[in-house]
Amino acid sequence: MIDLRSDTVTRPTPAMREAMAAAEVGDDVFDEDPTVQRLQREVAARTGKEAGLFVPSGTMANQIALLVHTRRGDEVVVSEGAHIAWYESGAAAAWSGVQCVVAGEGVCFSPEALDAAVKPGAYYYPRTSLVAFENTHNRGGGRVLPQDLVVATAQRAKELGLAVHLDGARIFNASIATGLDVKTLAAPADTVSVCLSKGLGAPVGSVLCGDRARITAAHRFRKMLGGGMRQAGVLAAAGLYALDHHVARLADDHRSARVFADGLANVKGLRALAPQTNIVMVDLDGDDRDHPADRLAARAKEAGVLLSAFGPRRLRAVTHLDVSADDCARAAAVLASLVRG
């Protein structure tokens, strides 16, 4: 099977497993796990923030950020298709009691679009308290946000007294694609969530970073959500290993994504969007009601290629540590032959 459903499907490499087995551990709920502390310091340093908090998932990192920045009844300004609004089971409404409003169109939004989304101060409007960006943007096809626009919009957010969170689940992909360091990409945000279990290839974990006061607040929320882990150093060790060994190689995943997209060029009935990072969206001809994406994904699975349906006529392929450029060329050939019949 060539599994392109997500970059979350990677298995820890033998060397990563060795690092995990050798990890020095303690009870992290007592703040006594030296490996977790090292990982938190390392990700905080790389994102240019004061402190970090290791959490089990990207979803928990984002949701803790919402709890830190908002009060019940508040509004959070997000981009179209934001993971926070689409793929976190409605947690923003359930835990923070906030609603999401989309600003502008596409993966990022301008200061003007932010102005248009923020409600005036009258008591009968929701209070806008937070702006959330996502870089790279998952539903947008692994797009890298234009950094100038992020800086300008975040600046406007500050003027309006709003906090800024960055869902940086794939921020290392954005860094490799742009040549900008993670610190620069995260600089406009008060908090940033970074996933270790996507392109970086660790089995579990994310780190939420920000200033000390916010991370202290986040620590309490993590415990409330049941995210306090005990000898979590075995997991943190995988994250540290990934940061040391799996960042530069993300460029290979980006190349493989291009190989996959190129393999689908000129195939009548589908259009692969040119990838910027490790995600390729493929749009199919046909009627939405027939869900051609589900049907093609099922046929591709029978032919040994796993893809995700990301809409009735859209498939998503994500490249990662466990697939080679050759695998991606083969997967594209399989898909092309299925479509050509």
The site for ligand TLP (CB under 6 A) is made up of 6, 8, 57-59, 62, 83, 87, 134, 138, 167, 169, 195, 197, 206
Cβ proximity to ligand TLP: between 35 and 138 the closer is 138
Question: Do 4 and 305 form a contact (C-beta atoms < 8 A)?
Answer: yes
> Counting Cβ atoms within 10 Å, is residue 5 exposed (0-12), middle (13-18) or buried (19+)?
middle
Shortest distance (Å) from residue 259 CB to ligand TLP: 20
How many CA atoms within 13 Å lie on the side-chain side of 34? 4
Shortest distance (Å) from residue 3 CB to ligand TLP: 12
Shortest distance (Å) from residue 274 CB to ligand TLP: 19
CA distances from 316 to 82, 208, 236, 297, 299 (A): 16, 27, 29, 10, 15
The residue sitting closest to ligand TLP, measured at its beta carbon, is 58
Cβ proximity to ligand TLP: between 59 and 118 the closer is 59
Cβ proximity to ligand TLP: between 6 and 110 the closer is 6
Shortest distance (Å) from residue 205 CB to ligand TLP: 8
Cβ proximity to ligand TLP: between 58 and 275 the closer is 58
Cβ proximity to ligand TLP: between 128 and 278 the closer is 278
Token pair listed for 168: 């940086």
Shortest distance (Å) from residue 9 CB to ligand TLP: 9
Cβ proximity to ligand TLP: between 95 and 339 the closer is 95
Shortest distance (Å) from residue 268 CB to ligand TLP: 29
Shortest distance (Å) from residue 194 CB to ligand TLP: 10
Q: Is 87 helix (H, G, I), strand (E, B) or coil?
A: coil
In terms of C-beta distances under 8 Å and separation of at least 24 residues, what long-range contacts does 6-11 make, across chains too?
6/198, 6/308, 6/318, 6/320, 7/170, 7/198, 7/199, 7/253, 7/278, 7/318, 7/319, 7/320, 7/321, 8/197, 8/198, 9/320, 9/322, 10/201, 10/320, 10/321, 10/322, 11/203, 11/322
Separation of alpha carbons 66 and 56, rounded Å: 16
Cβ proximity to ligand TLP: between 6 and 37 the closer is 6
> What DSSP string describes 200-224?
T--SS-EEEEE-HHHHHHHHHHHHH
